[in-house]
Structure 1
Amino acid sequence: MDRNRVPNVFYTSEIGFGSDPLGEFVDAVRGSSLPDADIFAEALPGNWTAALRQLAGILPEDQPSVVVLDELPYLMDPAGAFESVLQRAWDRELSRKPVLLILIGSDLAMMHILTSYGRPFHQRGTEMRLGPLDPGDVAAMTGLEPAAAFDATLITGGLPIITARWHTGDSVRAFLSRELADPVSPLVVSAQLTLAAEFPDQTQARQVLAAIGSGERTFTNIARAAGGIAHSTLSRATELLTDKGIVAAELPISLTPSKERRYRITDPYLRFWLTFLGPHLTELDRMRPDLTLERICRRWTSWRGRAVEPLIREALARVLPSHGIPAVPAVGGYWTRSNDVEIDIVGADREPVARDLAFFGSIKWLENSPFDSHDLSELQHHRHRVTDEPIPLIAVTRSGVTTGHLDAVFTPEELLGAWQSRRGSDQEI
């Protein structure tokens, strides 16, 4: 808005003791670039209806303007009172001006409610979900090679405020050493702020989230790690977390139905924080980041091997067809309750119950250990446990392969290209 010199007001709602949303909105308008904004200093509105009517009165008639209401969920209430006020102001006054009204909120569930059927703002706006930076963006910002860019994505989650602090050429250890030494760095505090905003009064949801973040994936193990909470309580908590998009509840892709649901944190940064930082914040407060850093380095390789799987599956879904492997609607994984059969990558015509399986794959994401004949034999054995059909086999490897008999091999360079090539196409359009 500033770059295009568009008259605008940007208001960010806040939550907490002493917060005065209406007063803060008035201050935002008074300090904005809207013409006649000083009217708000002369006549203070007594409620939101008056404030929005007064705002409409100073919006230009002869040029576009922009009004941004950020963190809108903090203003919303179960009865929809604020939404009704905003809807009336839009229908009667704001929409008569050449104004772009942008409503922003990080609580996805609340933002979906805003435009859902039966709510005041239903069919009055266009929804746009803004995700974090993708691995291609992270590579461009940090100057890292493809494999290292995936590492950076797993730590930063693609959050710009964290990614921007990754100096060109930083190794994982160099970045973490610098950021952990600052107890108020975005890497340390961003998750705390998010959790406080999303779950101010929902202790059990945060306990469940911490259990999943610690590595527990099954319903039973999560309940145990969360302190033995009741089945019904855990069900409500996991439903809340999945509704908010913070947790994904996944089923194995196979030819037969399965009830072996597994849970994972969708945001890589939050997953990293819950595993390595959240449980050990007292170390950082005592200025002992060395203890935290050494713990991360000891566990990094094994943690990364599991954490990178969703990114790799998404990359394959974007890059296929390639190497003779077809594009498919569903790319997931397969597992059994006992984990005696676990396949990292399964491509199919649909999920979770497929009609046709297109390919199986294994991920080996180690710096100095290529995909070898032992890995291939294990993948072939697991394929035989699932189907007798000669389903194509692929390998995703960080360090190459030393065996044949694979139908395709995908490297970090090819996977990263799934995002980089898309960005190039967008620019051409």
Structure 2
Amino acid sequence: MSRQRFIDRKRELEFLERAYKSGRAEFLVIYGRRRIGKTELLLHFARDKPHVYFLATERPYRDNLRELQRLLAGFLEDELFGKVAFEEIDELLMAFAERIEGKRVVLIIDEFPLLVEHHRPVLSLLQKAWDLKLSRTKIMLILCGSSVSAMESEVLAYKSPLYGRRTGQWQLTKIPFFHIGEFLPDYTIENLVKTWGIVGGIPAYLLQFDPKKGFDENVVENVLSKGAFLYEEAEFLLREELREPANYFAILQAIASGRSKFGEIVSSTGLDKSLVSKYLSVLQRLRIVERGVPVTATIKEARKRGLYSISDNYFAFWFRYVLPNKGYLEAGLAEEVWERSKDDFNTYMGSVFEKLIGNHEVFLRLTGFRFTKLGRWWHRGDEIDLVALNEREKKALFVEVKWKELSEREARGILKDLERKSELVGLEGWEEDHGMIAKKIGGKDELREEGWLVWDLEDFGELRSLS
């Protein structure tokens, strides 16, 4: 996951280590989108343990079975085991389990959905092997997959033959923001935030950025240039994961262009309402799109007032700057496209910065405010970027987020208006504080002396040193 060392994944490793030390048979399911770092995590975990790592490929089922058999025979150091004519995976795994009975062995089957795709009985055969033999050994079986939809429907779902067998599961998500500086140690905190706004916390994407090159150069060479890894990655991912990518493209294009209400998306795409609803649900499950509601909304209000946005930064950037400029980019005009896009990118970073601050871990570490709810608030023409509520203690923190360098006068005006808007939220009897987070705030110390809670990227830099 890193050019020199493994970065973060502390919680995931602790989860795997606890399972390994349980001493009983373990059946774990590890999944997450492509490039998230699943394979690196599992290999890092297993590096000092007796293990077999098998990567399923697009080859026919029998070829995959023979390759798995070859690896198991190599682990056992038994040539004869490699020559036995196993017809199915259950026979192979049960024979292997007999040979290792009493020993703790980690068996990783990576890209498991490919096995299912080529031979659907694999699910029932694996169930049989687990029930009859593997569950009575000390094996640690790990199924891993990049197709989130396949792993959830074929492995984790109630109707799956494997339902009820797993002893644990973990959906791998992105690297937290405060760790991405380990990929780009010489970047300023501002450039790290901008990089996060383009590739998010996907390890494989962060590795595309050369730490010896500047931010603009990395964007042009590694995202906007034809042939670059990130140039067509969005298309590849959608086609791999989804059956009707064209319709999903239309929906993501609509959201990227500013259509955030359900009705607006329907009108823009021309698709039937029921289809749009279905596609949006899939995109939400894949964590590409999110639906936000006012933080104080009731369940009834939440059904009506939701706004959609692209939550995945890479997809948000790609649909805003790559896809609409494909003609120019195909002609080799990446530098010109980026130069022309910079003013709009600054606007784009406003929503990105708000999203970053709205991350629970980031908000807590930066403000120190303990909350039970955190989110945006809006009503008619008024909006507050973030409202943090501590419902147990009846405390609230209202925060405006600005990707701007503000003078003390500008900051004071925004904070005064925030006070006005906070009265509209209607939290009578609550203890309230008001604050601001911006790229840079002039007169920060003076504002703090007056009781305002203000932070800027300088405070981010201090947190970065604690990561």
TM-score bucket (shorter structure): 0.7 to 0.9
1:38 CA drift (Å):
4.8
Alignment of 1:237 with 2:274, yes or no, is no
The 5-angstrom pairing of residues 334-349 of structure 1 reads: 334-336=377-379, 338=380, 340-349=381-390
The 5-angstrom pairing of residues 285-300 of structure 1 reads: 285-300=330-345
Which amino acid is the alignment partner of residue 266 of structure 1?
S
2:221–2:228 Cα contact (<8 Å) kept: no
1:316–1:415 Cα contact (<8 Å) kept: no
2:319 corresponds, among 268, 274, 277, to 274
The 5-angstrom pairing of residues 5-404 of structure 1 reads: 6-14=49-57, 19-30=59-70, 33-36=74-77, 38=79, 42-56=83-97, 60-61=100-101, 63-76=103-116, 81-113=121-153, 114-117=155-158, 119=160, 120-143=162-185, 144-168=187-211, 170-180=213-223, 182-226=225-269, 228-254=270-296, 257-258=301-302, 259-314=304-359, 315-319=361-365, 322=368, 326-336=369-379, 338=380, 340-349=381-390, 356=394, 358-367=396-405, 372-387=411-426, 391-402=432-443, 404=447
Instruction: State how far apart, in whole Å, the 2-side matches of 1:212 and 1:40 are.
Output: 55
Instruction: State how far apart, in whole Å, the 1-side matches of 2:407 and 2:267 are.
Output: 35
1:161–1:186 Cα contact (<8 Å) kept: no
Instruction: State how far apart, in whole Å, the 2-side matches of 1:218 and 1:420 are.
Output: 40
Instruction: State how far apart, in whole Å, the 2-side matches of 1:21 and 1:304 are.
Output: 46
Query: Could you say what the CA RMSD is over the residues aligned between the two structures, in angstroms?
Result: 3.3
1:420 CA drift (Å):
6.7
1:153–1:268 Cα contact (<8 Å) kept: yes
Number of the residue aligned with 1:427: none
Instruction: State how far apart, in whole Å, the 1-side matches of 2:194 and 2:181 are.
Output: 10
The alignment-based identity, stated in percent, is 21
1:7–1:66 Cα contact (<8 Å) kept: yes
2:401–2:437 Cα contact (<8 Å) kept: yes
The structure with the largest strand share of the pair is: 2
1:106 CA drift (Å):
2.9
1:334 CA drift (Å):
0.9
Instruction: State how far apart, in whole Å, the 2-side matches of 1:413 and 1:116 are.
Output: 46
Change (3 A) 1:97 1:37: farther
Change (3 A) 1:72 1:349: farther
1:216 CA drift (Å):
2.5
Q: Which range is displaced more, 203-212 or 114-123? A: 114-123
Structure 1 unaligned blocks of 5 or more = 424-429
Instruction: State how far apart, in whole Å, the 1-side matches of 2:120 and 2:463 are.
Output: 42
Instruction: State how far apart, in whole Å, the 1-side matches of 2:393 and 2:327 are.
Output: 51
Q: Which has the higher contact order (CA 8 A, sep 6+)?
A: 2
Number of the residue aligned with 2:17: none
Instruction: State how far apart, in whole Å, the 2-side matches of 1:238 and 1:181 are.
Output: 27
TM-score for the superposition, normalised by structure 2: 0.76
1:418 CA drift (Å):
6.2
TM-score for the superposition, normalised by structure 1: 0.82
The structure with the largest helix share of the pair is: 2
Instruction: State how far apart, in whole Å, the 1-side matches of 2:412 and 2:421 are.
Output: 14
Change (3 A) 1:104 1:295: farther
Secondary structure at 1:392 match in 2: strand
